[in-house]
Amino acid sequence: MSELENRLTACFASVFPALTEAEIPNASTESISVWDSLSFVTLAAVIQEEFNFEIDPEVLPNLDSFQAFRAYLQAALPALDRKEA
């Protein structure tokens, strides 16, 4: 996994502690029943703090899964997307 994926996984784990590490890459609003507006706001805040990066409010509603967050962050922070040894 890249540094970006590692850190994003940690963010998801802190907000959805019931998910295993294997489940996190497939996490989405549809797969997680506790993914409500409150947990979404918390997740967004954790990710912004973790990556020291402000998510565009226009994009925010489209970030409805781990993969969506990953793709958005990869585009915004390409330097963090290098695979770790």
Q: Which residues of the chain form contacts with another protein (CB under 8 A)?
A: 10-11, 14-15, 17, 38, 41-42, 45-46, 49-50, 57
Closer Cβ to another protein, 39 or 74, answer by number: 39
Structure tokens at 27: 């996490």
Return all residues near 32 (Cβ < 8 A) that are at least 6 apart.
16, 19
User: Which CB sits closer to another protein, 52 or 85?
Assistant: 52
Q: How far apart are CA 2 and CA 54, in angstroms?
A: 21
Least distance in Å: CB of 85 to another protein? 24
